A and B are shown apart, each in its own frame.
Chain A
Amino acid sequence: MKDRFASFHPLVNFVYFASILVFSMVFMHPVLQAASLISAVVYSIMLNGKKAVKFNLLYMLPLLLVAAVLNPVFNHAGVTILFYLKNGNPITLESILYGISAACMYVTVIVWFSCYNAVMTSDKFIYLFGKIMPALSLIFSMVLRFVPRYLAQIKVISNAQKCIGRDVTQGNLLARARNGMTILSIMTTWALENAIETADSMKSRGYGLPGRTSFSLFRFDARDQSVMLVLIGLIALVLFGALMGENTIRFFPSVKWLAVTPRSIAVYIAYFGLCMVPVIINVVEDMKWKRIESRI
């Protein structure tokens, strides 16, 4: 399906992902972690479909388990000792819980990044940073233009080399690596020589004049405004919770977090709401569309 959240202004996308990623890296409170992980998995499946399911089950689940097991082996803090290893080091409940929590966080961040990669395409990023870093963002744009071109040229060169009897796919590993480097070297000459004309074309179109602006197709409309306000409100609530200590958990020497109160429940809901913003948008738009369709 087509993601509705991606159609919002890049700033909305970026604020959402930046806050979610930072929060997911910082808050280890189990309720918040669970909220973030669940939202990340749901959204990634919405974005990437079957591929995401496979990715989550095949790579993320084992990773989570391994990380959860590894931590207690190295970390022996904590007061609840479960048993001793052969070398005499204790395995504690706290370190196991901590390991699970840390692993869970890692996996959450990775899954969020898989969503980020699908939504924050390069042109959005370049747009956002074009305002504050015009030269660098132009470099990014140029690199993104050159790379596919260079890869195509590598193919052309390796075919041409093959046709004068230099076959990259034949010979042992060393010979192949050497041939590969020759091709890279030929490609470099080609790239540098041709780039001069690109520089001419930039200059010819006035690059380097003072007062360069940065154009984009994106418009910050009413829809973006309302979602942005919701995001900011939720972020403020979560930060308020963080200030009150609602979002933190202490593992060592013993596991401890604040007692659950109405205030903490409000923070949990706000956080879960924040994480689910794109999913909610997708579901609501989907329902709207179905209703429109049923009337036709």
Chain B
Amino acid sequence: METYRIEDLVFSFPGQERETLSHINLTIASGEFITLCGKSGCGKSTLLRQLKTILTPHGERSGKIYFCNQPIEDMDQRTQASEIGFVLQNPDNQIVTDKVWHELAFGLESLGYDNATIRLRVAEMASFFGIHTWFHKSVTELSGGQKQLLNLASIMAMHPSVLILDEPTSQLDPIAASDFLETVKKINRELGTTIIMTEHRLEDILPLSDRLIVMEAGAIIAEGLPNQVGASLGDKKHPMFLSMPSPMQIQARVSAEPIAPITVKEGRQWLNAFLADKTAAPMPEGKENSKASAPAVIQFKDVWFKYEKNGTDIIKDLSFEVREGQFYCIVGGNGTGKSTTLSLISGLLQPYRGKILIGGKNPAKISAKELFTRNIGFLPQNPQSLFVKKTVELDLHEMLAQTPLSKEEKSEKIRSIVKFAELEHLLAMHPYDLSGGEQQRAALAKVLLLEPRVLLLDEPTKGLDSFFKEKLAVFLQKLNEGGVTIVMVSHDVEFCAKYGELCSMFFDGSIITTNATRKFFAGNSFYTTAANRMARHIWTEGVTIEGVIELCLRSK
């Protein structure tokens, strides 16, 4: 039985010539688990929104969509509401009411069920999703992962036969994300619900999917079993291949085979087979850290911090130094104090014991203006919190409004920043109309106008696809080469491994270990990159995809 049949679907937004979706043909069988991927703006979200008429944006549409053999326009809204579940990206925005139990019941209330039925369904869902322990709480008290789980549960309470998820984990940390995906998998496996999902985090999702569909510029360019699609993308050297799981990327570049490994386990098996008749190449010597003797720009000495007098310590006896020109990454779990550390550096918070010196001065003692011009720049986790004006251009000008520069100097400065951050075509747009990656670049441009010497970044890769991540990395490396010190807090182990110079592991309010990136990840056995987990039994210090590929190729 098929859930959806899409025939020659074409869609374009009003006033746009370009087709956002062009000639899509797709059949989705009941109970299938489908992953849809592609660069931001490739039309995958638009495609998903065509699958539920109430969410379909205005625009020109031709072609047919059938849901269970019935044209989707002919389905009444009540059936659509209950049969087609839709989970959106932002966990916070989807929650409507103030109590967990009420949120769970919201859809059932709309469908007009009586109290007894709702009570039963809500109870079932709470038990299935493990929500019963926080069933009576206010939604404000929940973590991001719990919120997204609540959204999923409140949709599952309506017993949909298909579940559509639009980048559901992009705002979650890795642990919460894999928990969430595990639950989606459970729904698919135990309830037989059809799953259609877009996702950047392919490492976790591909092992679960029955079919992978790749989109580009509004068209489907590949579909099939994940390992076959991966292999064929690799053959074509398609840019989307960079989002594929590390084992797949390594294998494709080392030996072309039609079936690619997806998980670390399969990757290891392949690697062992590949090296069976070869001798593993020796690890090249790592570069010596040349900046170790540069002056320290950030110094923490036995710093302790807590929010309330009787509260628990958030930062415990933290000491570390960042030297000029370094690219310093701080990794670690949620709630270990990483973001608090950034707030301490930027003077938003003050320690109750110990010393913090920024360029030799206490950040809490100098004025915000002095601290943040030509000194420290801070790119917050949510770039939206920086936007003030109605276009990107006005927003950039606003940054310089209080500086004594002449009009020409200001324009010149903005022009060069715009060029650097590649914002030319976005200048006239409203900041909120930009995609996540573009918003971040605009926010970065705003911060760079203050010419920081130290750039602090809080989770800069959150919600970005691999293309935008690469782009961000290029900007950061350029800045770093220009002498800017970068301190980055991140969950994104792969990103830190690839671009970081020094890495620190944060745990329980303090830094447990700090080392040059390669040595750092070689020293961890769990908290490390997929490439390293795949190859560490042969090359402990093979950390990045590129590194492992090179080692494989040199093995004779």
Contact = CB atoms under 8 A, between A and B. Distances in A.
Contacts of A165: 368-369, 371-373, 402, 450
B385 A213 contact: no
A197 B93 contact: yes
A172 interface: no
Contacts of A144: 98
A187 to B, nearest CB: 9
Contact of A205 (B155, B368, B399): B155
Interface in A232-275: none
Nearest to B390: A189
B548 interface: no
Contacts of A225: none
A215 B368 contact: no
Nearest to A194: B93
Interface string A24-52: 00000000000000000000000000000
B139 interface: yes
Contacts of A170: 367-368
A122 interface: yes
Given A209-B111, A211-B112, A212-B109, A201 B446 contact: no
A7 interface: no
A123 B97 CA distance: 10
Given A159-B343, A215-B113, 6 more contacts: A123-B98, A142-B98, A156-B380, A165-B368, A203-B55, A208-B110
B380 to A, nearest CB: 5
Contacts of B122: 215
A292 interface: no
Best-surrounded residue of B106, B118, B346, B386 (most CB of chain A within 10 A): B106
12 contacts: A141-B99, A142-B97, A149-B92, A153-B385, A156-B380, A156-B385, A159-B385, A160-B378, A164-B450, A203-B55, A204-B155, A206-B111
B290 interface: no
Contact of B372 (A122, A148, A164, A208): A164
A221 to B, nearest CB: 14
Interface stretch (B80-88, B193-201, B234-242, B537-545): B80-88
A180 B226 CA distance: 51
Given A204-B55, A206-B77, A209-B81, A163 B96 contact: no
Nearest to A152: B140
Interface of B: 52, 54-55, 77-78, 81-82, 86, 88-90, 92-99, 101-102, 105-115, 118-119, 122, 138-140, 151, 154-155, 158, 343, 346, 348, 367-369, 371-373, 376-378, 380, 382, 384-388, 399, 402, 432, 446-447, 450
Interface in A188-229: 189-190, 193-195, 197-198, 200-217
**Which 8 residue pairs are nearest across A and B when measured between Cβ atoms?**
A206-B81, A206-B110, A205-B107, A167-B368, A163-B378, A197-B93, A211-B112, A201-B94
A291 to B, nearest CB: 29
Given A205-B106, A212-B112, A164 B446 contact: yes
Classify the interface of chain A: helix, strand, loop or mixed.
helix
Contacts of A215: 102, 105, 108-109, 113, 115, 118-119, 122
A148 B140 contact: yes
A141 B105 contact: no
A183 to B, nearest CB: 10
A204 B81 contact: yes
Interface in A132-176: 138, 141-142, 144-145, 148-149, 153, 156-157, 159-167, 170
B92 to A, nearest CB: 7
Contacts, number: 165
A205 B158 contact: yes
A71 interface: no
Nearest to B122: A215
A66 interface: no
Nearest to B380: A160
A164 B386 contact: yes
Contact of A212 (B110, B151, B154): B110
A56 interface: no
A80 interface: no
A186 interface: yes
A182 B388 contact: yes
A166 B400 CA distance: 12
A266 B289 CA distance: 92
Interface residues of A, number: 50
A206 B154 CA distance: 12
A214 B380 contact: no
B345 to A, nearest CB: 10
A152 B115 CA distance: 34
Contacts of A167: 367-369
A159 B348 contact: yes
Contacts of B402: 165
Nearest to A140: B98
Contacts of A156: 380, 382, 385
Nearest to B52: A204
Given A149-B140, A165-B369, A167-B368, A202 B96 contact: yes
B382 A162 contact: no
Nearest to B104: A215
A164 B112 contact: no
A205 B93 contact: no
A142 B106 CA distance: 12
Contact of B54 (A161, A164, A204): A204
A69 to B, nearest CB: 42
B118 A213 contact: yes
A162 B436 CA distance: 23
Contacts of A203: 54-55
Contacts of A161: 385-386
Contacts of A210: 112
A212 B112 CA distance: 5
Given A159-B348, A165-B373, A204-B81, A142 B112 contact: no
A157 B381 CA distance: 11
B348 A163 contact: yes
A37 to B, nearest CB: 34
Nearest to A123: B99
Contacts of A194: 90, 92-93
Contacts of A193: 384, 432
Given A163-B346, A216-B115, A205 B154 contact: yes
Nearest to A134: B109
A205 B81 contact: yes
Contact of B368 (A149, A166, A197, A217): A166
Contacts of B109: 212-215
A201 B367 contact: no
B124 to A, nearest CB: 14
A14 B129 CA distance: 34
A99 B36 CA distance: 75
Given A163-B372, A215-B109, A201 B96 contact: yes
Contacts of B382: 156, 160
Nearest to A190: B384
A189 B102 CA distance: 27
Contacts of A189: 387, 432
Given A206-B82, A213-B113, A214-B109, A197 B88 contact: yes
Nearest to A122: B98
Given A160-B380, A201-B94, A204-B55, A209 B432 contact: no
A160 B81 CA distance: 39
